Amino acid sequence: MLNNYRKAIYNLAQTTGLTVYDYWPIDRELPYCITQNVQVIDDNAKNAEYGEYIFDIHIFDKSIGKTNVIGYAELIRQNLNSLELDDVDRRASYLVVEDKEPNINHAIVSVRFKR
């Protein structure tokens, strides 16, 4: 199940049209997405099919204002239901955060799958 969700998250991040990494890149041109973190909350330790999986998609951009990262985050939220995953409750929320680097806009989209 986890690998199916990872593929779905990667595909979802690609709907932004940005380059998607599964690691923290160094010296890459902005904008881009990173899909690395996952939290697993197991509802049933004997059956790995059931549980809750929370993935974070980080979006980075260097533009004036936060409009671009918010637009990318909204696009991910809108495309969430188009993923081909059966019998899975899915939700997404996002947060725009201050990045430690000046002039870098950073949004984190948290996507939750629950079965």
Query: Who wins on pLDDT, 1 or 76?
Result: 76
Calculate what percentage of the chain has a pLDDT beyond 90: 63
Q: Which residue segments constitute the domains of the chain, with CATH numbers given?
A: 2-114 (3.30.2000.30)
Q: What is the mean pLDDT of the chain?
A: 89
pLDDT digits over 35-50, tens only?
988 998 876 655 666 7
b/e string for 71-85 if b means 16 or more Cβ within 10 A? Answer: ebbebbbebbeebeb
Side chain identity at residue 39, one-letter code: Q
Residues 6+ apart with CB under 8 A from 101: none
In tens, the pLDDT along 3-45 reads 889 999 999 999 999 999 999 998 899 999 999 889 988 766 5
